[in-house]
Amino acid sequence: MIRLSRFASLVCTVLAACVFASSARATVTATDDTDVTVSLATPAQRVISLAPHATELIYAAGGGAKLVGTVSYSDYPPAAQKVPRVGDNTALDLERIVALKPDLIVVWRHGNAQAQLDRLRELHIPLFFSEPRRLDDIAVTLTRLGILLGTSATAHVAASKYREDIARLRTRYASRSPVSVFYEVWDQPLMTLNGTHMISDVITLCGGRNVFAQLAPLVPTVSTEAVLAANPEAIVTASAGATKSDAPLAKLDSWHAWPSLTAVARNNLFAIDGDLIDRPAPRIAQGAAQLCEDLEVARSRRPAAGAQ
């Protein structure tokens, strides 16, 4: 009887250890863009995205079927347009979010309102903060989301394809002669991007040079005089796309008032689909390809050596 009791106790101990090990294996963890480790007992099944770029990342990572809520302008891929809305980047419907019972929320660190992010934290729902700053970060984010969503195989394929697209552009353009670029975010007030923004990374990828890369704010306000002093060879802006309603080059028309500006004199005023260049998601590889082609056009318009 004693031996049987000991055997039963041993069996229980072994079973408990197996259950614990199985539970430990089921836990999935990934680090977000705030360097916080996000841990889930099991891969997420009900996910909410609070930014259009995050929605694209989730679909690319293979988690589209798990998306139960998102925000305005989450229009890609087309299936995302059918996902219930929970507000927009700055105004969230917290009651709606709770009602959807998410087990993971992907948020935009600097795009979502801080007060509402604080409210979300109070709900104790796991949050994954997404804000890729460099082109290579997009592949990393895809991989991390794949872990949390239980779709690592799909995420790995997407990340590899994206890396190949970027590597191809880097090989082709990075060694080309530099083109000085002013990237216009907004015209009134006149705003641009500094060197830590992903679009600046795209400019560098194409062999360009952001003339305001050294400024401290991520999205600094600059004067017309500062742009004239920098005398960029090309001026680029974003247009079209779901979040843009202006005509392609309407924002740049005012620069024709300064015909001696190199970008104007050579007709190097370019507009790129905002959904392709503004969103830090895999399609930025397409936006980068467009920008690289535009800067190549700018190089072709340089006066021949010795020409007056």
Beta bridge partners of 179: 208
Same fold flag, 26-160 and 174-300:
yes
Comparison of pLDDT for 130 and 88, the residue scoring more? 130
Residue located via tokens 């700055």: 90
Residue-wise pLDDT tens digits, 188-214: 899 999 999 999 999 999 999 999 999
Going by their DSSP bridges, the two strands 47-49 and 104-108 should be labelled as parallel
CATH number 3.40.50.1980 is the correct assignment for the domain at 174-300: yes
Structure confidence at residue 139 (pLDDT): 98
Three-state DSSP at 111 gives coil
- What are the residue boundaries of the structural domains of the chain, listed by start? 26-160, 174-300
Residue-wise pLDDT tens digits, 6-32: 434 433 443 443 333 334 455 999 999
* Cα of 295 vs its chain's centroid, Å: 22
* Nearest in space to 56 (alpha carbons), one of 239, 278, 204, 218: 278
Going edge to edge, which strands form the sheet with 269-273?
208-210, 179-184, 234-239, 269-273
Three-state DSSP at 47 gives strand
Residue-wise pLDDT tens digits, 215-239: 999 999 999 999 999 999 999 999 8
Least confident of 168-172, 206-210, 249-253, 254-258: 249-253
Residue 140 has pLDDT above 80, yes or no: yes
d(CA 207, CA 204): 5
Under CATH, what is the fold of the domain 26-160? Answer: Rossmann fold (3.40.50)
d(CA 221, CA 295): 24
Structure tokens at 198: 């992903």
